[in-house]
Structure 1
């Protein structure tokens, strides 16, 4: 028996032929097909989705304005930059700002508008360092905190903790929104949690930088910059105005000696093989109309390459991995 087994395991003459080993399907298959753009269904889908996308863009532009025109004019008349102008002047020139939860608070409080939840959060590059930026919008109800404002603030801090992002707070806040203070102050994940998170991040050497760009009290002699810089020692720097405060913040971040360590290999992005706007005609706005989600994936992932697994099991769900070429 053992002799027969040894004979069976002995390399054959054909296997011993020198040369490269041949693998099956080294290249990754690409997804996607060209749609029939002349079909009535495609054109109907395209037009309906285009209307919805345009509506989305219009609402985003409205949210970016912040408070109403009167509130913005009053803010500017006090020599202050609008909150999005502060962020633009803080981050590196030409660098992107990844905004989070832009539609927070949208139509949440009946007829009371709270654009972006009254606070702007997102990731931006400051002096070459990716930071979580949290900026109060004083044009929205004086920058007061609604329940959704607290939730958005805490979510930004959680993202910063998980990704070890230094936090920059551009503070211009009127505190809690008094009519809703019962939903702002008392519970575990309410307003006080913000300071709990700050303390925890500081203990983990995740830098916290605060730029108080507006008055937090009604009068200078009750606790303004001069008192805290000269007497109490609570503050580290005294800024002359918004732009000076942002300049000081950039200097602080630059001196952190912080370098992001990537645990993954970053490669240049690659466009899909198919135009992104074809998604309008493929998906459409009719929720009763089905479509092939693989055609959607083909217009999202790099090179339209997708390694699908369990393709024959549970065919109402598509699972897979985007792979490099």
Structure 2
């Protein structure tokens, strides 16, 4: 396989400027992640500890195998909203007793771990990732239930949590609930619907209705322990499978449960001892321009990500604004589609279509590295069939059944987002770099289109065009789109699975590929109708 040769000048002024801009973006990301780790803040964390309880991330640390990695998902959920960044819940993929699992942990230092609309989305996405990739699920339960002021947005869709848990079980994907505290009302069904339930003595409170509700509904006086304590559920109701004396004991039991799954991955194992890239991933920061509209060669990224910097390029002289080819990451074979100069022409669309078909023929996962402004527009391109060629590519992406992993490196605009396996096209996992942008089009272009439409409307009605008002409106639209296309804004709404440091791209792809190989890796042998 051919070895990529880097042309990046690490001593240039442009490299220095690029690197400083990316380091600034990463610093902003780190500052927000510190808020996520802080949870409800020092006061509430200390109050939690004073009750003899561990914070959710310490529970996670005890649960995971020593020195094993954890791929956190949707860390900045709810960023920029009225809710605490992180959405009061922790989700991610980690190794427990040698088994890759999806971990879902409530953070009780944030409003008692209550579920808001963003924590609901985050939970459902975690369960979806678990189902698609055949990952056992471990719930670290301590939640006061629904955030009541937003119940109208929660009650109906939250039922999907129970649906997903029972479907996972029916698919032979184990589910575990480790209950450390409140698991009330609808939340009581989480341990009820999991395959395995472990309850902590004097901590777990699992009941449909707590003492106040029972008193109001029936007039009965009952305490927490008789209604839903660990001992009662272990001795009387039978809801609890295991009685834990404290939190570390519950986590020990949980690890033992996972160790007895007799788990086997269904996908092929990676090749042993893959070679590291020939170039330092640190150099990716100096490669990325401060402005997302400035193109860069994705081969320079691949040279710092794929095994041995080896890349077998497919159709290198055709459709050159899209780079396609074969490589491996941490020993896992992959097909790569990476935007080069942003625009997708008919040639790129047809090239991508053929490449996706080939990947499905050989059961090879696909990695999409997005940096696209969308499909080309204009009379010549419309007459040349850009719509039907773009439709071929989107058809192939839609019907491809090999795992897709997507990373938005810089920009993902218009239908290019769809053709490059954006969120709507069900990539198994999707991430973004800190300075990436996502929108229907760039802010300047969108504002300019609105201005042109406004001017044409005024002319058609024979009215004077207010230039000053148009300038103010254009500036306001540009500011709005800049805000809404920002990586933090996008990830807050779970349009991706998290923002990652570009230097960690190889590691994130390796962990993602390992996770998806829990499921069978099978390509589609037949596709839908292509518009020729």
* Selected match of 1:116 from 83, 86, 100: 86
The residue aligned with 2:152 is 182
- Structure 1: tracts of 5 or more residues without a match: 1-27
Larger relative contact order, structure 1 or 2 (CA cutoff 8 Å, min sep 6): 1
* Selected match of 1:209 from 176, 181, 194: 176
TM-fit CA distance, 1:69: 1.3
| Residues 262-277 of structure 1 aligned to structure 2 (within 5 Å) | 262-277=267-282
TM-fit CA distance, 1:38: 3.0
Query: In 2, are the aligned partners of 1:298 and 1:304 still within 8 Å (CA)?
Result: yes
Q: Secondary structure at the match of 1:142?
A: helix
Q: Secondary structure at the match of 1:277?
A: helix
Bigger mean CA deviation after superposition, 83-92 or 37-46: 37-46
Bigger mean CA deviation after superposition, 225-234 or 261-270: 261-270
- Structure 2: tracts of 5 or more residues without a match: 184-204, 211-223, 334-532
TM-fit CA distance, 1:57: 2.2
Encode CA deviations 1:69-103: one digit per residue, 9 max, x unaligned.
11111111111110010011011112111211112
**1:197 has 2:170 as partner:** no
The residue aligned with 2:366 is none
Q: Under a length normalisation based on structure 2, what TM-score does the superposition of the two structures give?
A: 0.52
TM-fit CA distance, 1:40: 2.1
**1:65 has 2:32 as partner:** no
Structure 2: distance between partners of 1:33 and 1:223:
63
Q: Under a length normalisation based on structure 1, what TM-score does the superposition of the two structures give?
A: 0.84
Bigger mean CA deviation after superposition, 259-268 or 48-57: 259-268
The residue aligned with 2:396 is none
**Greater per-residue helix proportion:** 2
The residue aligned with 1:239 is 244
The residue aligned with 1:15 is none
Query: In 2, are the aligned partners of 1:45 and 1:286 still within 8 Å (CA)?
Result: no
| Residues 98-137 of structure 1 aligned to structure 2 (within 5 Å) | 98-107=71-80, 109=81, 112-137=82-107
Query: In 2, are the aligned partners of 1:99 and 1:123 still within 8 Å (CA)?
Result: yes
TM-fit CA distance, 1:34: 4.2
Structure 2: distance between partners of 1:258 and 1:30:
37
Query: In 2, are the aligned partners of 1:145 and 1:175 still within 8 Å (CA)?
Result: yes
**Greater per-residue strand proportion:** 2
* Selected match of 1:161 from 115, 118, 131: 131
The residue aligned with 1:290 is 295
How many pairs were matched up? 292
Q: Secondary structure at the match of 1:215?
A: strand
Bigger mean CA deviation after superposition, 57-66 or 206-215: 57-66
Structure 2: distance between partners of 1:252 and 1:290:
50
Structure 1 runs of 4+ off > 4 angstroms? none
